[in-house]
Structure 1
Amino acid sequence: MKTQLLILTLLASAFASQIQAQDRTTINAKNFEISDNLDLRAVASIFGDSKNLQDFERKLNDPKLQISNLDLNNDDQVDYLRVIESVESRTHVIIIQSVLDRDLYQDVATIEVEKDRYNKVHIQVVGDVYMYGQNYIYEPVYYNTPLIYASFWLSSYRPYCSSWYWNYYPSYYYAWNPFPVFRYRYNIYNSLNSYNQYNYVNYRRSSHAVTMYSSRRSNAYERQHPDYSFSRRNSEVNNRYELDQTRNTRNLGYSQNRNNSSRVSNSSKADSQRIYAQNRLETPRVNAPQRTESQRDYSQNRSETPKVNASQRKESPRVSTPQKSESRVDNSQSRNSNSGNKSTSKNNNKRS
């Protein structure tokens, strides 16, 4: 009976732990922000540095650069991003897709390149509405004309389509584990080409590109998670840019609170230092007269003492010298008397 009760207790505890683990997973999924894991400015940066779309796809998935941190299928490996292209006349739509599984792809962003009638090239990097919200767009301004433009408007140009898919990847690629968001941001900050400009806009330049893309869009992840769109994840803002502004405002308020607290602490420290300095200044003022008076008394005592000693020294020789002279007179008189006595005695002896 005891054995059965022990087994039942162990089974109940294991079941409870499984339920708690499932709850943790659900909570983490709700708090996870997808758009934190692919910076469109980095996508625009490497696009301007690429020779062609094949080179661009290579840079997107280079394990050394680590431009992406997306793991949409939750296999603890960063998804491979493949590139396909649609071309009509002077308009190129380059689509970046996350490879989720066999024949399952989710669009994450598009690059729309169009040359106008004045032969001026316009480029926009557009985040997918499910991933980034409505009209999340960056317009890069390159300091040098990208080499990738050289072949875009040749008559012999053929649209690019990636030959890679699920479990079939190029030799240079290997999957890596996603990083924490703060580490990914630090990596992207160091990867951006600082000579370029990345201007945010909220409108599409090419209506033709919008029409071309609408028939080519892939949304496997969106279909699997229809309630996890950007508008559901962040109902108070329209797109990723507004979300960043909200975050910056919160961080600014936090930094201001920290600055105010530091100012209060610094002012209290300054006040305490002022009080301490005043106490130090006032204390010598009180003690200084005592020290001067004691020094004066001491100096007077020293000055009077030598005077007394000097007078004593001067008077003592005066007293002692007469005694010496008198003693010398007495000695001389005694000697004279003795000599007189001796002479009288000698004269008497002679007479006799």
Structure 2
Amino acid sequence: MKSKLLFIALLAIGFTTVEAQSQTTVYAKNSDISDNLDLRAVASIFGESANLQDFERRLNDPKYQISNLDLNDDEEVDYLRVIESVEDRTHVVIIQAVLDRDVYQDIATIDIERDNSNKVVVQVVGNSYLYGDNYIYEPVYNVAPVIYTSFWITNYRPYYSTWGWNYYPTYYTAWRPYPIYRYRRNINVCINVNNHYNYVNTRRSYRAPALYQTRRSYGYETRRPNYSFSQRHANTNNRYELDQRRVATRESSRNQNVNNTNRYNSGRTTGTDNRNTDNRNTDNRNVSATRPNSDRNYNTNRATPTGRDNAANVNTPSRVENTQRNEVRRNPNENNSRVYSENRGNANRPAPVQRTEAPRTSSENRGGYENRANSSRAQAPQRAESPRVNQESRGSQPQRENGSGSRGGNRRG
């Protein structure tokens, strides 16, 4: 039984492992280019940077590994450079991937605009080719970022990265891209949970799109013109809707796996219960088969109680079947009514155990019958044995009278 249960447990673990592997496989097949750079992480490190130069360093620092993009397929994560376009109170920060010499691909833009009340609004906008149309995150920082103070100063000069193909800063070392599931797990560490990242689908600034067009780069789009987001995902507007569909698909798959597991466990439990029921029945049969023997042994080993009147040195002999007890030699002076009463009492009692009785006198017989009556009451307390004892007492009355007569006759003699 234990070996069967162990086999079932190992089988269940195997099914669980297969299901987990199948879920991971489905998750990997649903990966997209946009999975390799989380814009919430970009917004988070932007609020922690001192200026745009520091922001570019954080984007490419191997310690953070914010990006996982490899658009030129050289098995190395692309370097991300930062350039800026400015007009009055509007700043547009453009993040570009360096693919080759003088070949760049826009990844996202950061719109920074200050209104007349000096309130600063920041929006991180994903490139429509990679993320779909109007994929925008609007961060709300818990503490006003220090980088704000660097934008509106006298004689401000827009930032323009000096790094390019095979010309990188000393802190940068290219690393191999990770699998998507691992990147998603690691990037959560770089997102400041004290901030809020609200998804919106409209741009607040009307100047920002115009400023962006003057600096736009699309080197990857020209290499793969039929691989835009709308062509990769039909009937899906942007990355946000894609995430919603993924969540719904994973929930559906998880519910299906749970239902399959419940059905499997239900069938396994039913089989186990049936086996347990068979074992219980077998145990009951064994107990029923062995119980009479236990009772016989118990009754056989019982000793005759002491302190019995008119009985001298009486030992309970081994017992035989009831037929032998009926054939025991009786005193010729016993009345037939006693035999009739005894037989009627035996008919209502369960078959007694084996007992062998030696020839006894009338005094011993009376003590033995009283002992059996007491024994019957001890073993079956729920039965009313008083009538049977009374019948035996009435049946024994003639014997006592005869015994008295005999004793009287002896004295007279």
With the shorter chain as reference, the TM-score category is 0.7 to 0.9
Whether the aligned pair in 1 keeps the contact of 2:31 and 2:180 (CA below 8 Å) is: no
Per-residue deviation, residues 18-60 of structure 1 (Å, max 9, x unmatched): xxxxxxxxxxxx9973212111111111111111110000000
TM-score normalised by L of structure 2: 0.64
Q: Distance in 1 between matches of 2:41 and 2:61?
A: 13
Q: Distance in 1 between matches of 2:30 and 2:246?
A: 15
- 1:264 counterpart residue number: 263
Distance 1:250-1:58 versus aligned 2 partners, 3 A rule: same
> Number of paired residues?
284
Q: Distance in 2 between matches of 1:187 and 1:289?
A: 66
Instruction: Tell me how far 1:177 sits from its aligned partner.
Output: 1.5
**Greater percentage in helix:** 1
Per-residue deviation, residues 96-133 of structure 1 (Å, max 9, x unmatched): 01111121111110001111222221111000111111
- 1:137 counterpart residue number: 136
Provide the alpha-carbon RMSD of the alignment: 2.5
Any gaps of 5 or more consecutive residues in structure 2? Answer: 1-28, 305-314, 319-356, 359-413
Which amino acid is the alignment partner of residue 60 of structure 1? L
- 2:106 counterpart residue number: 107
Between Structure 1 and Structure 2, whose CA radius of gyration is higher?
1
Per-residue deviation, residues 277-320 of structure 1 (Å, max 9, x unmatched): 444544444444443322221122223795239x99xxxxxxxx
Instruction: Tell me how far 1:67 sits from its aligned partner.
Output: 0.8
Identity of aligned residues (%): 55
Per-residue deviation, residues 141-189 of structure 1 (Å, max 9, x unmatched): 2111111112222233221111111111111111112121112112212
Aligned pairs for 1:190-229 within 5 A: 190-229=189-228
- 2:164 counterpart residue number: 165
Aligned pairs for 1:1-352 within 5 A: 33-303=32-302, 306-308=315-317
Q: Distance in 1 between matches of 2:190 and 2:167?
A: 27
Q: Distance in 1 between matches of 2:223 and 2:31?
A: 16
Q: Distance in 2 between matches of 1:34 and 1:289?
A: 73
Highest RCO, 1 vs 2 (Cα 8 Å, sep ≥ 6): 1
Q: Distance in 2 between matches of 1:100 and 1:289?
A: 86
Distance 1:118-1:307 versus aligned 2 partners, 3 A rule: same
Which amino acid is the alignment partner of residue 126 of structure 1? V
Q: Distance in 1 between matches of 2:111 and 2:188?
A: 24
Which amino acid is the alignment partner of residue 81 of structure 2? R
Q: Distance in 2 between matches of 1:177 and 1:292?
A: 76
Instruction: Tell me how far 1:259 sits from its aligned partner.
Output: 0.4
Q: Distance in 1 between matches of 2:31 and 2:118?
A: 43
Any gaps of 5 or more consecutive residues in structure 1? Answer: 1-29, 313-352
